[in-house]
Amino acid sequence: MNLSAESHSIPLSDGNQIPLLGLGTYGDPRKTPKGTTVECVKLAIDVGYRHFDGALVYYNEHEVGQAINEKIADGTVRREDIFYCGKLWNTFHPPELVRPALERTLQTLKMDYVDLYIVELPLAFKPGKEFYPRDENGKYIYHHTDLCATWEALEACKDAGLVKSLGVSNFNRRQLELLLKKPGLKHKPVSNQIECHPYFTQPKLLEYCRQNDIVVVGYCPLGSSRDASWVNLTCPPLLEDELLVSIGKKYNKSSAQVALRFNVQRGVVVIPKSFSPERIKHNFQIFDFSLTEEEMKAIEALNKNIRFVELLMWSDHPEYPFHEEY
């Protein structure tokens, strides 16, 4: 695979392409100052990023859209140079809510289409204004989940030209099979966005996705923040790993750059999120070196099968995806 800063896209099964490196744009809305996302996305475009991963539920999709549109207006990029992935949130699973949710994302971004639209989680929540509906006891209010019906509504959005490609996120094998074996399937999922990094390499799910022509997009490719409200803190910090640090020294790279290169080199898309200008630049500098076969194997052997992101607060949902091995 000849990858370069200018050319690092791989094909999707529907004929479209996805850049192997993207910028994740999630930031805690309570802690991220207004305007931060605009500046970071504009900088990322100047650095060379063309793939941006966002979501309505991140509360900053308007800033991502503003940044992209400003860089289109000043002639830096064209819309077709940009790959934007949006997400269908849990409260919009009923088929009649799918297109309005996507249209809300398009209005927020001020775009005519998104490149990829994915089902963020295989868990439906009670529809309504609240993204995280809870009852008077503070318990999450779930909703009947019918992934096939939701998928059919997404297929209609693709047919209407609102989205180029359709995918999923946090789906296990059984849930992927449900869609792939759906009678009358019109558009198969082209991608599955899952946690993926040297401490959680996902060998079985990765192999299953490869067999079915589904590209794996890895979130938390550098491990994760240490936010105890949603991160499993028993998992050791990935970037301090001795092997990653020592391989990095050999190439004059950091452990983070080695971890990103590892996934990209095996065809896994990575979307590290950062609001630090230095790190945004740093994470992009992974196309001027490559790992040997032995180094790839050694990094694969670091797998501890530990998730940083367990989403245990929803583990009693009937479709919670992580009870099953893959």
Instruction: State the catalytic residues.
Output: 58
Question: From CA 268, how far away is CA 73, in angstroms rounded?
Answer: 32
Question: From CA 232, how far away is CA 200, in angstroms rounded?
Answer: 13
Question: From CA 262, how far away is CA 254, in angstroms rounded?
Answer: 12
Say whether 323 counts as a known binding-site residue.
no
Count of all residues that appear for the chain in the document? 326
Residue 181 counted as domain residue: yes
User: What total number of domains does the chain contain?
Assistant: 1
Q: What is the pLDDT of residue 317?
A: 95
Residue 84 counted as domain residue: yes
3-class secondary structure, 175: helix
Distances (CA, A) of 154 to 80, 91, 213: 22, 15, 19
Segments forming the whole domain that contains residue 234? 16-314
Close Cβ partners of 236 (under 8 Å, ≥ 6 residues apart): 199
pLDDT in tens, the chain (326 residues): 689 999 999 999 999 999 999 999 998 888 889 999 999 999 999 999 999 999 999 999 999 999 999 999 999 999 999 999 999 999 999 999 999 999 999 999 999 999 999 999 999 999 999 999 999 999 999 999 999 999 999 999 999 999 999 999 999 999 999 999 999 999 999 999 999 999 999 999 999 999 999 999 999 999 876 666 666 777 778 999 999 999 999 999 999 999 999 999 999 999 999 999 999 999 999 999 999 999 999 999 999 998 889 999 999 999 999 987 66
Task: List the structure tokens of 123.
Answer: 């868990």
Question: From CA 180, how far away is CA 192, in angstroms rounded?
Answer: 13
51 and 39 in contact (C-beta within 8 Å)?
A: no
CATH number of the domain where residue 120 is located: 3.20.20.100
Residue 179 counted as domain residue: yes
CA proximity to 273, closest of 302, 308, 298: 308
Q: Which residues pair with 42 in a beta bridge?
A: none
Residue 209's CB: how many other CB atoms inside 10 A? 22
Residue 35 counted as domain residue: yes
3-class secondary structure, 248: helix
199 and 303 in contact (C-beta within 8 Å)?
A: yes
Residue 5 counted as domain residue: no
Question: From CA 101, how far away is CA 87, in angstroms rounded?
Answer: 9
pTM equals: 0.96
Count CA within 13 A, CB hemisphere, residue 167.
Answer: 30
Q: What is the pLDDT of residue 324?
A: 75
Question: From CA 319, how far away is CA 316, in angstroms rounded?
Answer: 8
Residue 7 counted as domain residue: no
Task: List the structure tokens of 95.
Answer: 């088929």
Residue 1 counted as domain residue: no
Helix (H) or strand (E) holding 88: strand 83-88
Residue 103 counted as domain residue: yes
Q: What is the pLDDT of residue 223?
A: 85
Angle at CA 275, nearest 5°, toward 243 and 56? Answer: 115
